[in-house]
């Protein structure tokens, strides 16, 4: 957690040292940890915008991959994008949903089995098509 927290606050090299040590000790990133990070990133996005939040996400995933915690990186990206897809769908921003669904699946293919993701994708495409017809 210290490595993740340090990455979030922009101390990339220091964070890499913490994450390297965590990887050596066999640390994994579990679901509650990912959910906590994604929640923080979404709150950060509300305050500072999507670009700032996604820059932090890129730094986190780069650091995690460089030290060998690739699976945690993929889950983090997948959870971030699936949260965005559902949020965009809920807000009626149907144009954003397909791109976010693709980002979700390319980062974490296990979400191919998520029926809710397929439902919002289909409905958002139908909603987009319907808006164009009006």
Task: Give 23-70 pLDDT, tens digit per residue.
Answer: 888 877 778 888 888 998 998 888 999 899 999 899 888 888 887 777
pLDDT at 89 > cutoff 60: yes
- The segment with the largest mean pLDDT, out of 11-20, 53-62, 78-87, is 78-87
Residue 38's nearest CA partner among 61, 17, 62 is: 61
Beta strands in the chain (DSSP E): none
pLDDT at 16 > cutoff 80: yes
State the virtual CA torsion across 15, 17, 21, 24 in degrees, nearest 10: 110
Beta strands in 11-110 (DSSP E): none
pLDDT at 9 > cutoff 90: no
Helix axes 97-107, 70-90, angle to 10 degrees: 160
pLDDT in the model for residue 31: 81
């Amino acid at each position: 957690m210290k490595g993740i927290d340090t990455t979030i606050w922009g101390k990339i090299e220091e964070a890499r040292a913490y994450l390297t040590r965590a990887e050596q000790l066999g640390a994994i990133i579990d679901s509650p940890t990912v959910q906590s990070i994604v929640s923080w990133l979404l709150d950060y996005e509300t305050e500072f915008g999507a670009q700032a939040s996604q820059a932090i996400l890129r730094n986190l995933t780069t650091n995690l991959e460089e030290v060998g915690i690739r699976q945690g990186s993929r889950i983090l990206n997948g959870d971030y994008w699936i949260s965005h897809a559902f949020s965009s769908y809920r807000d009626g921003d149907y144009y954003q949903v397909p791109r976010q669904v693709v980002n979700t699946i390319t980062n974490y293919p296990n979400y191919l089995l998520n029926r809710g993701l397929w439902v919002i994708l289909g409905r958002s495409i139908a909603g987009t098509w319907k808006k164009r017809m009006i």
